[in-house]
Amino acid sequence: MDIEGVRGQLGAEHDRLQALRDEFIEGGLTSQSEEDSLAELSSSAQHQADIGTETFDRERDVSILEQVEAELADVELALRRLDDGTYGTCEACGRVIGDSRLEAKPEARFCLDDQARAERDVRGPSRSS
Ligand SMILES: [Zn+2]
């Protein structure tokens, strides 16, 4: 595996995600501030319809921000694992993740099997089974 290439790729992704997050935060958005901002809005003299639109936009932005922060955490973790030599192995079972998967998703933490299992756990048991 081309460790230095991966490091460069992850570093670039890290910078991109961090810039994206900073943009959101400079725009006054954090993933925890929703309640405060809504309180501000309802005390203002804004028209009800405008508040509705604003709430929708804010909820969408918060969920994008949360996704960016989660990806950033994964990238940071991958960079740390590059340093300590555990990069490229599955966190759950310890098997090698595989170059083709890492090329597609350099910040991957799990092998395909464990990734699928983790996603099933999040979504809950499937109704078709
Ligand atoms: Zn695994």
Contact 110, 116 (CB under 8 A): no
SS3 92: coil
Please state the pTM of the whole predicted model.
0.70
Q: How far is the CA of 38 from the centre of ligand 1 (A)?
A: 42
Domain boundaries of the chain, sorted by first residue = 1-87, 88-129
Calculate how far, in angstroms, residue 113's C-alpha sits from the geometric centre of ligand 1.
Answer: 6
**Band of residue 129 on the pLDDT scale cut at 50, 70, 90:** very low
Ranges 8-22, 49-63, 101-115: which has the least confidence = 49-63
Q: How far is the CA of 92 from the centre of ligand 1 (A)?
A: 5
| pLDDT over threshold 70, residue 27 | yes
Six-digit token string for 120: 């099933």
pLDDT at residue 36 tops 90: no
94: CA distance to ligand 1 center in Å? Answer: 6
Cβ(14)–Cβ(75) below 8 Å: yes
* Phi, psi of 81, rounded to the nearest 5 degrees: -70, -30
All residues at 6 or more sequence positions from 109 whose CB lies less than 8 Å from its CB, including other chains:
74, 77, 78, 90, 91
Rg (C-alpha) for the chain, rounded Å, is 19
